[in-house]
Amino acid sequence: MINKSMGFLETNFPNWRNNRYLKYTASKASKAKMQKYTSRGKMLRIATIREYVPIILVKIGRKVKNLIHKFKAKFKKFLKAKNKKKYLKQRIPGRKLVKQPKDVKYTRFYEKLKVNENEVLYASKHGEDVAGNIFRMLLAMKEEKYRKFHIKLTLKQSLVPTYQKLFERYGINYVDIVITDSKEYLQSLSTAKYLITDTSFPPYFIKKPEQIYLNTWHGTPLKAMGRIVPNREYGLGNVQRNFMIADYLLYQNEFSRDIFIKDYMLEPIYNGKVMLSGYPRNSAFFLKDRYNQIREELGLDGMRVMAYMPTWRGRLDKKENKKQISILYNYFYELDSYLKDDQVLYVKLHPFVKSAMNYDDFEHIYPFPEEYETYDFLNATDLLITDYSSIMFDYAVSKKPIVLFTYDRKEYLNERGMYLDLNTVEFPKADTVKQLAKAIQKDSTYPKFYEEFCKYDSKDTAKEGCEALFFHEKVSFPIESVQREEKKNVLIFMSGMKKNDTTERLIERLNELDTSKHNYYLCMKTSTVKKATSMLSQLKTEINYIPLVFDVNYTIKDRLACAWNFKFGFSNKTSDRLIDELAKREKDKYFGNTHFDSVMYFSMTDKIVFHMCKAFDAKKIYNSKSFDAKKYSENKKYKKHIDYYMNRIDSFDMVVGTNQLKKASIDALKNSSVKLVIDKNSKFDFEEVLKEVE
């Protein structure tokens, strides 16, 4: 406005500032204002200050207010912290560069240390237990032929005294305990030739090609798993990754094998072997002498000994432990009054609620004796009471009676899907304590259930499992590859999903794809799909996905190289080499030796993922259909971002773009050997692009 009005006056009224009327007859106020009109520059400066200073002050005020709010919130956390010194230490600026977190330490060991051919590392539930399968395999390694191995077991520090006593009782004096997340544990994770777990190894773990990894999982699935868990479709990432990179997956029956392979979407890509062997822990039920021995030691001769092992209610973000304890107390008081003097009930609860239960008020109800391993003690019981726990599949090996106490069946089943209809299972069911008291007085059989779920279990499962793993000896159970159709595997890196029309349209297009020749895998960071997890459930079952628990294993050098290239926009051979090595390591971490025929970098903006794509031995496609030529010519930041990719595009086989990309005439792209395909359609045509690149 100032420029136009000044221009108008200077053009039409030359020397207007010396106009006599303005000089001599204008009011005092007008003359005062005239001082500001002496030059165009002065006017612009005054107007700018008056316009923007209030806005700047408001913004500064908001920032100060936010800083005060953040400080107050952090100060409250500090006051609540039990260990205030530790709390402050963890928040020192630059601490990650000085005091390296465990993933950085692990990566250093991974890079520097070689695999020890005779080292074995066991882990049960992330070091929070020494549960059935792991315990039985450790016990099987008591034989002299295993003495050449250095056997290690990881445990949380607080659990060490308990399990040391247990190991002494069972004569397990050949196992070294390493504290979970300690330096020794991180070293062992990178050097052990053999890795065995019943859950998963941490997200930063990278399996070396020389390492042999056995995953036994910790139960036959009754509740929904993997992609079919409602509202948790995104949450399978690290477990799926562990299955994908494992050399062996061990299952109790075909039912388990088929569920895990299907619902973790492993069938088209898993390259390891499946052991259909029964569970090592169920070997305990074939040791008849232990039945009498344990009962004699505990003074239980002539007693009807029962076990109660319920599943845990709640979620990790909503535990509701007090509610569960309150409900159980009331049921135990009532049940205790029904039990006879020759009946005793032993209870094993989830660790979250176990310590809160007090058994002093009951005459016939006790906690599981800690001096015995769980399955060893279960072998000495006469009946199992459970609900929705997979323990029913294990206990059924004994052919002893099982009763399902499903007092909250309707509520529980509404929250969590099930693979079996409990109404069709042969076990007696009780919804009240009175019904439960009647049910435990009767014997029951379940021939169909046993045949379907327990036929592979034997007294030698643990022994043979170890022999197959460590000595490649011939065993009685099958060790097979996953059967699959011969199709090409396609990996599509995406930036995530949102609950909007764009994602809806994308899902519609994906569901329309012909899957007769290709297996499609969408890949995105877990954090970018968490809020829209229900969108994943809309994909047809032939379209698979891999959510990455994306936490990069940086070393200090890697961090500096990424900052140098990504943040400051500089690059040299050393920084490029370090970033490529980092990306190769990340690719190995997430995908192991999984083969993909084609990899698409589709609507992504993450440079680490871009470099990961480069690391695949596959046809590589870069989708640039969203390229904006106008923005490229006018916005320096956008140009710099695009140029980063274009300067490194030679590793790709094809760039798919529009005429805008062609018109932009980017030098790096013109000088590259990569094939540029101009797609005039508004939608990205996955099938046409694959035809072109193949």
CB atoms within 10 A of CB 197: 25
Least confident segment among 36-50, 168-182, 612-626, 660-674? 36-50
In the sheet with 488-493, reading across from the earlier edge strand, the strands are 543-548, 518-525, 488-493, 598-601, 619-623, 654-657, 675-678
User: In the structure encoding, which two tokens stand for residue 189, read together?
Assistant: 């994770």
3-state SS, residue 36: helix
Q: In whole angstroms, give the CA distance from residue 450 to residue 401.
A: 12
8 Å CB contact between 483 and 254: no
User: In the structure encoding, which two tokens stand for residue 10, read together?
Assistant: 């200077």
- Alpha carbon of 2 to those of 26, 41, 43, 58, 299: distances in Å? 21, 10, 7, 25, 101
pLDDT at 93: 59
What is the tens place of the pLDDT at every residue in 283-319? 999 999 999 999 999 999 999 999 999 987 654 444 5
Percentage, residues of the chain above pLDDT 70: 95
**Which DSSP letter does residue 441 get?**
T
pLDDT at 317: 44
| More confidently predicted of 321 and 316 | 321
User: In the structure encoding, which two tokens stand for residue 519, read together?
Assistant: 């297996």
What is the tens place of the pLDDT at every residue in 238-266? 999 999 999 999 999 999 999 999 999 99
pLDDT at 29: 78
pLDDT at 90: 67
The residue to which tokens 């013109």 are assigned: 670
Average pLDDT of span 90-112: 78
pLDDT at 477: 95
pLDDT at 96: 52
User: In the structure encoding, which two tokens stand for residue 598, read together?
Assistant: 């084609």
User: In the structure encoding, which two tokens stand for residue 477, read together?
Assistant: 């159970």
Task: Assign 186 a pLDDT band (cuts: 50, 70, 90).
Answer: very high
What is the tens place of the pLDDT at every residue in 43-88? 777 777 777 777 777 778 887 888 888 888 888 888 888 787 777 7
Least confident segment among 117-126, 193-202, 345-354? 345-354
Q: In whole angstroms, give the CA distance from residue 454 to residue 471.
A: 26
What is the tens place of the pLDDT at every residue in 475-493? 999 999 999 999 999 999 9
- If phi over 0 gives left and psi between -120 and 50 gives alpha, with beta otherwise, what is residue 563? alpha
Least confident segment among 91-100, 115-124, 166-175? 91-100
Average pLDDT of span 157-181: 96
Q: In whole angstroms, give the CA distance from residue 243 to residue 261.
A: 9
Mean pLDDT taken over the chain: 90
User: In the structure encoding, which two tokens stand for residue 498, read together?
Assistant: 């949102």
| More confidently predicted of 80 and 572 | 572
Residue 592 identity (one-letter amino acid): G
Least confident segment among 186-195, 252-261, 636-645? 636-645
Does 619 have pLDDT greater than 60?
yes
What is the tens place of the pLDDT at every residue in 588-607? 999 999 999 999 998 777 99
pLDDT at 1: 83
Alpha-carbon torsion (574, 579, 585, 588), positive or negative:
negative
Q: Give, rounded to a whole angstrom, the gap between the first and last alpha carbons of the chain.
A: 59
Nearest one of 370, 375, 371 to 169, comparing CA atoms: 371
